[in-house]
Structure 1
Amino acid sequence: MRTGRLRTVHPVLWAGWAALAAGAVLCVIGWYGVSGERYAERQLPYLASCTIPGAALIVAGSVLLTHGRGALAAARVEELYGLLVAEEPADADESGQAAAIPLAVSRDLLMVPGGTLWHRADCPLVAGKVEAVPVDAKLLTSGELGPCPICDPAEETG
């Protein structure tokens, strides 16, 4: 399930890489031209026509890459959020609000060894995982494990 935003991010990344490459080529051409001239007044055209635009393209490419990677990360976070959160049911009541359906309602509490959260057995984060084990009461009372923010098992036990 890819979002439409991912398709618009890749051209920005390609444009960033292209601008970086073109800027590097221009800087090399400018450096080569400057290095072949002995007098400063003969070096200025190479600086003005190659090196300065090359440096500007490198800066623009860096900005495009930074923006593209940030947008790509935001699109991935939105995609993961969409996978974790249940969508609204189709039948909404008259006030326009959907009836709240809890994600997990089981009373059995599980944890993943080495994890930091405890979950209900039907929580999407541990459902179907063979390594999930029942929560030890000592771990709950010691505070080593926190409640899962997705299935919120603390409201039943707390």
Structure 2
Amino acid sequence: MVRLPQGSARPADLLRSLRPRLGWIALVLGIGLLFLGWYGVSGERYTARQLPYLASATAPGAALLLAGTVLLALGRRTGGPDADQQQILRQLEILYRLLTEEAAREPLAAKEGSGLGTTAAPARGRLLVVPGGGTYHRPDCLLVQGRDDPQPVGRTAVAARGLRPCPLCDPDPVGPADADLKPDPDPDPVGAPGADPG
């Protein structure tokens, strides 16, 4: 039995409530017509005698099949989320909350474990480079955290090697003019021209 919305039963409300049932009816009729068209065509040897079955049964059957599919799809889309969808949405929200809380805790735990928890911000001006890399990073950059191979690099070495700033941590840019004006905070630059590798 079809339940109609309370109050004024407008034609749009009636159609919306009957849409899924009309879709199933159209699907069943479409499949039936397709079967009858196939059965009629398969019994005829000549193409000229098969055409009436295609025109009278197969084409309308395909149209009803398509209409039923559209009605069912519209019926599911216009209704609100059902109980299963609501359960999935709640679970996704909980998972998102857990992941974002864990991601917020992870950098704090890494700083506490490495002894950096006493300082609120990394030393300004200190830069790191990964051997063989073409970019320089701040010490709190995600690309160098947890790695054993990042090495400190001075501003003059950054300018001399032509390193680019990391797009993720966005350290202060260093250019040739910066290297001449600012003293090198790190006396032992890695990879600077003329530096002793061994």
What's the TM-score, normalizing by structure 1?
A: 0.45
Rg larger in structure:
2
What's the TM-score, normalizing by structure 2?
A: 0.37
Higher relative contact order (CA 8 A, sep 6+): 1
